[in-house]
Amino acid sequence: MIVRHNSEETNGLRIDDLKQFVDKTVTVHMNDGEVAKVKVTFVDEEGEDIVGAVEETSRPDGYRAACAVHTFAAADIASVELSE
């Protein structure tokens, strides 16, 4: 399953679109071109963020440790797809 945002309607994905990915590993395509494989642990509806552990990324310099938990704003996400 792939979820993409409609650039005419929003700047990113809606938080409701991301709830289905809790406890799943996904490939996240960010609006800035970064691609990351993330194990989603939590969706913060109030802050409109997803929280998860980054397993792989196209921009590793921006992260502390590979196993650390990071936050991604829904507005910054271009698309999400389930990973193997």
How far is 25 from 41, CA to CA, in rounded Å? 9
Instruction: Answer whether 50's CB lies under 8 Å from 71's CB.
Output: yes
User: How many angstroms separate the CA atoms of 4 and 10, rounded?
Assistant: 11
Can you name the residues that pair with 28 across neighbouring β-strands? Answer: 36, 80
**How many distinct structural domains can be found in the chain?**
1
For residue 15, give the amino acid letter: I
pLDDT in tens, 12-59: 788 888 999 999 999 999 999 999 999 999 999 999 999 999 888 898
Residue 9 is part of a domain; what is its CATH number? Answer: 2.30.30.100
> Residue 65 sits in which domain range?
2-82
Q: What is the pTM of this model?
A: 0.81
Contact, 5 vs 13, CB < 8 A?
yes
